[in-house]
Amino acid sequence: MFKKILIANRGEIAVRVIRACREMGIKSVAIFSETDRSAMHVEMADEAVFIGEPPPLRSYLNMDSILRAARLTGCEAIHPGYGFLAENHKFSERCEAEGITFIGPDSKAQMLVGDKIASRKAMSEVGVPVIPGMRSAGKDIEEFKKAADRLGYPVMVKASAGGGGKGMRIVSDPSKLKGCIEEGRREAGSAFGDDTVYLEKCLVRPRHIEFQILADKEGNAIHLFERECSIQRRHQKIVEESPSTALDSELREKMGRAALDVVRATGYTNAGTVEFLLDENGDFYFLEVNARIQVEHPVTEMVTGIDLVKWQIRIAAGERLSVKQEDVVQRGHAIECRIYAEDPANNFFPSLGKIVFVKNPEGPGIRVDSGIYSGYEVSRYYDPILSKLIVWGQNRDESIRRTVCALSDYIIIGIETTIPFLIDLVKHPDFLNGAIATDFLERNFKMWKKSDKCDLLDIALVSAALSGEEIQIGIKSKKAIISPWNMLGKWRIGEK
């Protein structure tokens, strides 16, 4: 087993990996940009190395700095987390060349699954159904137009190197095709350094169902059942759960087998996710392989009891996968809510600034994977995910009720977050009935506003006045204070 691992990431996922390292007796090394000097992953790691300026290209995407940090601290392996360099085969190649183990699939498998156009081809060859679409990238707009006409609108513009919804556009109107391709190219280019885009037929009201897999280097592979990830905005998931209400045991088994076919066809090792779209007729199509640990991995950990990050590390170290397919069972129901620094009432615009106070929810079946604390400053340079609330219950009903309670107990003050929106979301009748598809938010929450209509308005107003009263007493000698809490010390009402 490795003695020391560098975690080439930040935020909640870096914290998650450090936790696994600690429990396994492995030393952890964090890296940080100027902005992240006091970030939680830096505090938690055994060692921390400065790697550059805040923009990702100069820090968390800077391969030279990261590899230098690994050499400097004597790390034997690098865990890339998700995003940043996680699916960059050039990075894993460089790790391989330097004799540092990259915790993930090898660069060859990474390259194949990372290229959506090539992986679609590989899947059709082994009989896994794929969504009708272009077999190669379009050279000019005419070729895209022809392909779109052949597939029939609506079509989806997708980045070949894509992930996380970047570069993706739905086109329903032929006149918008050119603009959407240009936008998609620009976004893909800046996110992945590769602006190749192609078109796929856009399925109407599909569900997004994915299967977690684990595969060792000896050819043993298992799946750990599905995650339902249909609740998305801007093609980014916001609530995930397992099991899915859309699968019966027969379909579940069929999709699980297909996921393992994908693993074998690509020679994939380590942890990965096979994404499918499921249409209203129960037909499913291969979407892509996510060659990394995913944001929503805790949902699977909660229902199967298997620690995916630890298995990533063990497999990378050459251990055999000792868990057999028949050992993996789904127990109860888990839901994950992603807490973003975004204003849900304002088109999910990023909400930046200092978090003045945080209180995590507690209680049975509640897990919080977080990268924030009171006093943490949300930076404009990185993904706005703050933390994830994962709730387990004996069944779906219990886990939904528990989620509502836990979200209500989750206090983050100083910036806008998705918490109030998530509370309304999980209480929506369609969500309660499990009648969800990828258009759920668009359909039901387009003009969502925080509701002030509540019995507690009076209490809130009185509290606001009390809050103001404290300030008034406090600033007797100082006028025009903009943010009194930053300038005043602690004091208490009622004290002379």
Q: Give the binding site for other proteins (CB under 8 A).
A: 166, 183, 186-187, 190-191, 234, 346-347, 349-352, 356-357, 359, 380-384, 407-409, 411, 413-414, 419-420, 423, 450, 452, 454, 456-472, 482-485, 488, 490, 492-494
Q: What residue ranges in 91-204 does DSSP mark as E strands?
A: 101-102, 155-159, 169-171, 197-201
Size of the chain, expressed as the number of residues it contains: 496
Taking CA atoms, 464 is separated from 317, 467, 469, in Å, by 56, 5, 9
Angstrom distance (rounded) from CA 233 to CA 350: 14
Residue 279 CB, nearest approach to other proteins (Å): 28
Q: How far is the CB of 405 from other proteins (least distance, A)?
A: 8
Longest pairwise C-alpha distance within the chain: 80
Q: Give the DSSP letter of residue 130.
A: B
194 vs 85: CA distance, rounded Å: 14
In terms of CB distance, is 354 or 396 closer to other proteins?
354
Nearest by Cα to 203 from 129, 278, 149, 254: 278
Q: Which is nearer to other proteins, 72 or 465 (CB)?
A: 465
Please, what is the minimum distance in Å from the beta carbon of residue 165 to other proteins? 9
Closest distance between other proteins and the C-beta of residue 380, in Å? 5
CB of 183 to other proteins, least distance (A): 7
The phi, psi pair for 341, rounded to 5°, reads: -85, 75
Active-site pick, 120, 207, 252, 292: 292
Is the distance from CB of 275 to CB of 287 less than 8 angstroms?
A: yes
Across 314-375, the runs of DSSP E, i.e. the strands, are 333-340, 342-343, 349-350, 353-354, 357-359, 366-370
In the complex with other proteins, which residue's Cβ is closer, 394 or 472? Answer: 472
- Cβ proximity to other proteins, 310 vs 427, nearer residue: 427
Which of 266, 399 has the CB closer to other proteins? 399
Task: Give least dist CB 35 to other proteins, A.
Answer: 13
Structure tokens at 100: 């540092």
Q: Is the dihedral of CA 66, 68, 69, 74 positive or negative?
A: positive
Q: How far is the CB of 452 from other proteins (least distance, A)?
A: 6
Judged by beta carbon, residue 250 or residue 447, the one nearer other proteins is 447
Closest CA to 114 of 298, 270, 290: 290
Half-sphere exposure of 34 (CA within 13 A, CB side): 9
Tokens 């929450």, located at residue: 445
Write phi, then psi, for 173 (nearest 5 degrees). -115, 120
Let me know: does 19 contact 36? Beta carbons within 8 Å: no
Let me know if 356 is exposed, middle or buried by CB neighbors in 10 A (0-12, 13-18, 19+).
middle
| Residue whose CB is less far from other proteins, 21 or 415 | 415
**Tokens read off for 186:** 């620009």
Question: Least CB distance from residue 349 to other proteins, whole Å?
Answer: 4
| Closest separation in Å from C-beta 330 to other proteins | 30
CB of 164 or CB of 393, closer to other proteins: 164
Tokens 């199509």 map to which residue?
285
**Catalytic annotation present for 292:** yes
Identify which of residues 435 and 464 has a Cβ nearer to other proteins in the complex. 464
| Four-residue CA torsion sign, 459, 460, 466, 469 | negative
**How big is the CA angle at 314 (ends 6 and 108), to the nearest 5 degrees?**
75
Spatial distance between the Cα atoms of 383 and 402, rounded to a whole number of angstroms:
27
Give the residue numbers marked as catalytic.
292
